[in-house]
Amino acid sequence: MTNREVYHDGVVKRLVQFSIIWAVLGMLVGVWLAAELIWPGLDFGQFWLSFGRLRPLHTNGIIFGFGVSALMATAFYSVQRTSNVPLYMPRLAWIVCYGWQVVVLTGGLSLLAGWTSSKEYAELEWPFDIAITIIWVCFAVVFFGTIATRRIQNIYVSNWFYGGLIIVIAMLHIVNNLAIPVSINKSYSIYAGAQDAIVQWWYGHNAVGFLLTGGFLGMLYYFLPKQANQPIWSYRLSVVSFWAFTYTYIWAGPHHLHYNSIPEWVQSLGMVMSLILLAPSWATMINGIMTVSKAWRKLTVDPALKFIVLALAFYGLATFEGPMMAIRSVNVVSHFTDWTIGHVHSGALGWNAMITYGTFYFMVPRMMGTELYSIRLANIHFWLALAGTMLYIISMWGAGVSQGLFWLSIDEIGELSYSFTDVMASMVPYYGLRLLGGLVFLTGTILMAYNLLRTMYGRNTVQVSPPEVLDEIRGTAHNPNAVMGVEPAAGKGGVPA
Amino acid sequence: MKYHGVTLHRKLEKNMGLLIFGILFVSSIGGLVQVLPSIFQESLSTATENSHLYTAVELTGRDVYIKEGCHVCHSQQIRPLLAEVERYGPYSRADEFVYDRPFLWGSKRTGPDLHRIGGKYSNAWHEAHLIDPRSVVNNSIMPAYPWLAEWEALDLGNIQSKMRALKTLGHPYSEEAIEAAPGQLEGLSQLYALISYLQILGTGLAEEYR
């Protein structure tokens, strides 16, 4: 190893910056949409501000702009450190970084122009689908190339999750988007009707599974042990839950189509596998909680750790709620209602956004070689994020459960109890509360953006070289945790004995 | 080594190629067992008396529906539940959707289901509703679509290439129908095309299933 070799953190920093920009913009669009559901005139008669076009912009901006940029940033950051080697083909990493931003930006504009395949989370038309595939392959080359050139025998567990993200999303993306192009902005799916629905929800559910769950579990397995300064509680449990998760998740999609016009065996299988999925999901949560359990004291003073641990709690909540909603008799009530929207946001706000914020508060000061600009602001952000998420999901539980029950309600002479418009009109208080929750969450995100940009302002990333490889991690002894270099605290509660 | 599985996994943890293969293998089983058979299940893709092949105008209307994101707030899928059948009409059947590319079942009912909306309201009602929803439904939160009345149906892509693409995928459009298509769209607004599509929705169901 030469002494001049350093980790490529510049591209990580840039991806973090883009991710923050998309977070603020994506959430701003979300808040606007929430307001349009109360005051429909807020589109001002402009077609590009219309709800039907703006909503896919919100979901795509958050998932692919904020989410994927953050996943790329944290994957590049952690794969170097768990492989003890700088990024493979760093120029390609920069191409991935900027190429992705161009796709998100132009793709977002195309959605406003009405270019859409209509499939949820896969709305972008075929030219963008091809561009995404190319960038994704480059991402895979950088990531797996780094692992292939590693100086440590074991491939650390966070990398399996990032690897699973890259491989499975590629498979889903290609199969689901197969279509015959008609013009630059229009194509027809090669699948029709019920078959199209089954393929789409195989994709849709597993985009949630392998991107929003699996990818972010990659973050968890690197940043939680690192920030808690504790090895993973049970490495073997992480192994078991990884494979159980990867095997089971892929079956769960048809719970989005309960009582729809698809074969019943497909629905039932989807439901059973969704219920089984609770086991690996909670195994991971328990593993995380036990990992941090020796460092509770640190939780009171460390904003990054607070965000990560709260995210873990929401992960537990969402992965419990999901299987429950996949039960057919529960789904009768929840399907087509705002309950689903609430469930998605307990995942997206509570789990995805919170853990991302935790990793950003972790990485940015370290990469800049300085302290966080303001711990106080980060703590305020924490409480705003928690309050915003709670307001959001509680209001959507109220809205969704009422919609579900009112729509199904039949009086004693067999007539429908409520008209659709009556139920819709009764949603205003819930939608108001949701708007407030979104605003509170967005405010916290803006505080973070300010805090982190101040921390980064005028500084370059510090030059970090891979540490000397010790014999214990080069791989003679089997100790996969060793690469993390964390020191388990002696004594109880993280207090040195 | 006490357990064989542990030894195997230690290999996997040290071999990237094996790990990639393992992930690919384990994650494709579900799709192969559950999704692939559905794609080859003919009853899900064979046209019956319940299937309706969209005319050039209806097809254009459907593309307007997609472009404006109507499916974001309206489902097209009536579940076989008493309350749903009472509210919306006969439940949806798979063979009604064999010409739907993409499917538009939706995942959210911010507005009501539209699968059997065809024929329930007059063209004039739809026109008034699309241009200003609150002029006919008091407390509606639906966006207004005044621009659709001004935009030409012919401007929404080449109708002949669309029909040819669908023909490649098995939609039985005759050459005469494809030849005549641009003439049928001549002078129509996108609003008119959309209403034509809405008026045909769910009406193809044979009498015996009603």
Q: Does B5 touch chain A (CB under 8 A)?
A: no
Q: Does B48 touch chain A (CB under 8 A)?
A: no
Helices and strands in chain A, H and E counts: 20, 2
Question: Is residue B157 pLDDT above 80, yes or no?
Answer: yes
Quickly tell me which residue has 């008034």 as its tokens. B128
| Interval B79-94: pLDDT, tens | 999 999 999 999 999 9
CB–CB contact B20 A163 (8 Å): yes
Q: Does B73 touch chain A (CB under 8 A)?
A: yes
Q: Does B126 touch chain A (CB under 8 A)?
A: no
* Reported confidence tier of residue A492, pLDDT bands at 50, 70, 90: very low
Q: Which residues of A touch B67 (CB under 8 A)?
A: 114, 116
User: How many Cβ atoms sit within 10 Å of the Cβ of residue B208?
Assistant: 7
| Interval A436-458: pLDDT, tens | 999 999 999 999 999 999 999 98
What's the mean pLDDT in B172-187? Answer: 97
Residue A491 confidence (pLDDT)? 39
Which residue from A118, A188, A192 is facing B45, i.e. has the nearest CB? A192
Which residue from B14, B38, B141 is facing A37, i.e. has the nearest CB? B141
Which residue from B16, B26, B142 is facing A40, i.e. has the nearest CB? B142
Three-state secondary structure call for residue A469 = coil
Interface test with A, best of B105, B147, B148 (most A CBs within 10 A): B105
* Residue A431 to chain B, least CA–CA distance (Å): 12
Contact by Cβ (8 Å): A110, A185:
yes
What's the mean pLDDT in A39-46? Answer: 96
Q: Is A473 exposed, middle or buried (0-12, 13-18, 19+ CB in 10 A)?
A: buried
Three-state secondary structure of A103-121: HHHHHHHHHHCCCCCCCCC
* Residue B127 to chain A, least CA–CA distance (Å): 16
CB–CB contact A192 B86 (8 Å): no
Total residue count of chain B as it appears in this document: 210
In the 8-state DSSP scheme, what is residue A231? -
Residue A336 backbone dihedrals phi, psi, to 5 degrees: 70, 0
| Interval B134-153: pLDDT, tens | 999 999 999 999 999 999 99
Structure-token pair, residue B22:
């393992």
Residue A494 confidence (pLDDT)? 37
Which residue from A40, A147, A148 is facing B141, i.e. has the nearest CB? A40
Question: Is residue B198 pLDDT above 60, yes or no?
Answer: yes
DSSP one-letter string for A329-353: HHHHHHTBSHHHHHHHHIIIIIIII
Q: Which residues of B touch A421 (CB under 8 A)?
A: 137-140
Structure-token pair, residue B112:
């009501």
pTM: 0.95
Q: What percent of chain A has pLDDT over 70?
A: 95
Residue B47 backbone dihedrals phi, psi, to 5 degrees: -70, 145
Closest Cα to residue A199, out of A108, A117, A139?
A: A117
Burial A139-148 (b: 16+ CB within 10 A, else e): bbbbbbbbbe
| Interval A105-162: pLDDT, tens | 999 999 999 999 999 999 999 999 999 999 999 999 999 999 999 988 889 999 999 9
Q: Which residues of A touch B24 (CB under 8 A)?
A: 167, 171
Is the confidence metric ipTM above 0.85 for this complex? yes
* Residue A460 to chain B, least CA–CA distance (Å): 33
Contact by Cβ (8 Å): A212, A63:
yes
Q: Does B110 touch chain A (CB under 8 A)?
A: yes
Residue A172 backbone dihedrals phi, psi, to 5 degrees: -65, -45
* Residue A306 to chain B, least CA–CA distance (Å): 31
Structure-token pair, residue B17:
């190629």
In the 8-state DSSP scheme, what is residue B113? -
Q: Is B64 exposed, middle or buried (0-12, 13-18, 19+ CB in 10 A)?
A: buried
Kindly identify which residue of chain A lies nearest to residue B148, measuring between CA atoms.
A47
Cα–Cα distance, A88 to B149 (Å, whole number) = 55
End-to-end CA distance of chain B: 67
* Residue B172 to chain A, least CA–CA distance (Å): 14
